[in-house]
Chains A and B, each alone.
Chain A
Amino acid sequence: MSEWIEACGADDVDEEDVIRFDHAGHTFAIYRSPDDEYFATDGLCTHEQVHLSGGLVIDDIIECPKHNGRFNYKTGEAKGAPVCVNLKTYPVKVEGGKVLIQVG
């Protein structure tokens, strides 16, 4: 059963940046794109389970801080070695200054 959960305040994430959000034993990454849209993916790189929140957001790419593996955080697509498995993405909405993600 899917549910919307509050992940953070809209201002908690800088533009073109990412933060970590943990919920029910699962870790997520919440992104704010350069054009002020919000996105959410699983929080760990599919290559070696490193937190993507320490990485670098460049346009629509999140780069893993450990091995520079790149994903499109809007679609979850792995963009090449050393990442081969796509990231899971989650629907996001912003309501009343809060970022909500749909999980489950």
Chain B
Amino acid sequence: MGIAVTDASVRPTRRDYSLIGRDSRLAVENGLAAAEWYHTDVPRKQMKELMKRSDGPAIRDTVIWIAAFIVSAAGGIWFWGTWWCVPFFFVYGVLYGSSSDSRWHECGHGTAFRTQWMNDAVYQVACFMIMRNPVTWRWSHTRHHTDTIIVGRDPEIAVMRPPDLVRLVLNFVGVLDAWQATVDMVRNAAGVIGAEEATFIPESERPKAIRVARVWMAIYIATATLALALHSWLPLMLIGLPRLYGAWHMVMTGLLQHGGLADNVTDHRLNCRTVYMNPVSRFIYLNMNYHVEHHMFPMVPYHALPKLHDLIKHDLPAPCPSIWAGYREMIPAFLRQLRYEDYYLRRELPPTAKPYREELHQDDRMPAAAE
């Protein structure tokens, strides 16, 4: 299953993840930036059917989502001060700090609803909850799809090599992530766009990012002021803190997307992972467990991904049968990457699949041998 540097004398390659550093330059020189990616052949008629937009599924799921917010928030407020509030805030936290991740993502693609203003409305609300500037992250995610897990190009690589395991664990409670988001928000609100942000946000869009950051700052200041006035944590339990105590599901599912897989390749079958999951997680995650499929065909709405999976699975590596199975292969890979940064899990293709184009994926920095 894995590819390892088997010769301990081979020095691992140090990666430079900066978007304005050495590997960024190398990716452009080596043709890895904005490259042509592999796509499974799907007849146009079937692809059109899969790409078709409809408001129905997303309206249904959004109504359930909002109702769950209202019930869990009401229960949390009602039982505040007793242990009975815990299960309500558990649910509220996951909705706020995890399900918002998949909502900003899907609505940012414009694929959740057919009606664009509905995508925009949910996108803005979800971005606020997950603390991702809607302008910055629209552009960062665009780059993530252009240059998925290309070192120096992709701004959304969750686990860099060698993996920082402390950071990884702390992210389950959002601590470092939310702190970084706060720093970014304050900086943007002060009218400053960072050098790395400037590599993917066009100049014309930057004032919008600054405006949003200022509105968000005002909301957080108002919430904190209310908490002080009431001498209560309750306002912060509803706005702000759930980004921490509810982040665990987002991190649990998000790490599986690319964790331990190849970098610097141009075939999503090598750097994305599809994982079968329970229906509750799939609702929270809006079917992003079909991650190879999503990256290969980002135009397909979340509700059509299971159909797309059935259609193209003959050409994809076998999916992980569960979240648990995903972690069972990913964690040992992270541990090996601590010693051998170039180690990665190589996804085996079924005999029915078109083979990888190895000539596109031979990284001369990475002398590797099959296990």
A residues whose Cβ falls under 8 Å from a Cβ of B: 17, 47-49, 55-56, 58, 63, 65-68, 70, 81-82, 84
Whether A81 and B299, one on each chain, are in contact in the complex, defined by CB atoms closer than 8 angstroms, is: no
12 A-B residue contacts at CB 8 Å?
Answer: A49-B34, A58-B53, A65-B299, A67-B142, A68-B109, A68-B299, A70-B116, A81-B135, A81-B138, A81-B139, A82-B138, A82-B139
| Contact A67 B48, CB 8 Å, known A58-B53, A58-B114, A81-B139 | no
| Contact A63 B110, CB 8 Å, known A17-B48, A48-B34, A68-B299 | yes
How distant is the Cα of A63 from the Cα of B146 in the complex, in angstroms? 16
Further contacts, 6 of them, CB under 8 A, given A56-B48, A66-B146: A48-B146, A49-B34, A58-B53, A58-B114, A65-B299, A68-B299
Chain B min CB distance to A48 (Å): 6
How distant is the Cα of A82 from the Cα of B108 in the complex, in angstroms? 10
Closest to B144 in A: A67
Whether B110 and A68, one on each chain, are in contact in the complex, defined by CB atoms closer than 8 angstroms, is: yes
Closest to A69 in B: B142
Interface of A is mostly: loop
B residues whose Cβ falls under 8 Å from a Cβ of A: 34, 48, 51-53, 109-111, 114, 116, 135, 138-139, 142, 145-146, 202, 204-205, 297-299
Contact residue among B52, B110, B202, B298 (Cβ-Cβ distance under 8 Å from A66)? B298
Chain A min CB distance to B108 (Å): 8
Interface of B is mostly: helix
Query: Chain B contacts of A82 at CB under 8 A?
Result: 138-139, 142
Query: Chain B contacts of A66 at CB under 8 A?
Result: 145-146, 298
How distant is the Cα of A56 from the Cα of B114 in the complex, in angstroms? 12
Chain A min CB distance to B121 (Å): 14
- Between A17, A55, A63, A67, the greatest number of chain B beta carbons within 10 A of the residue's beta carbon is seen for A67
Whether B53 and A67, one on each chain, are in contact in the complex, defined by CB atoms closer than 8 angstroms, is: no
Closest to B297 in A: A65
Chain A min CB distance to B256 (Å): 23
Contact residue among B53, B135, B299 (Cβ-Cβ distance under 8 Å from A55)? B299
Query: Chain B contacts of A70 at CB under 8 A?
Result: 110, 116
Chain B min CB distance to A7 (Å): 18
Closest to B298 in A: A68
Query: Chain B contacts of A68 at CB under 8 A?
Result: 109-111, 298-299
How distant is the Cα of A65 from the Cα of B146 in the complex, in angstroms? 11
Chain A min CB distance to B58 (Å): 15
Whether A84 and B204, one on each chain, are in contact in the complex, defined by CB atoms closer than 8 angstroms, is: yes
How distant is the Cα of A66 from the Cα of B142 in the complex, in angstroms? 9
Query: Chain B contacts of A58 at CB under 8 A?
Result: 53, 114
Chain A min CB distance to B263 (Å): 20
How distant is the Cα of A56 from the Cα of B138 in the complex, in angstroms? 20
Whether B298 and A67, one on each chain, are in contact in the complex, defined by CB atoms closer than 8 angstroms, is: yes
Chain B min CB distance to A43 (Å): 15
Chain A min CB distance to B124 (Å): 13
How distant is the Cα of A65 from the Cα of B298 in the complex, in angstroms? 7
How distant is the Cα of A16 from the Cα of B297 in the complex, in angstroms? 20
Closest to A56 in B: B51
- Enumerate the 3 nearest inter-chain pairs by beta-carbon distance, A residue then B residue, closest first: A82-B142, A56-B51, A68-B110
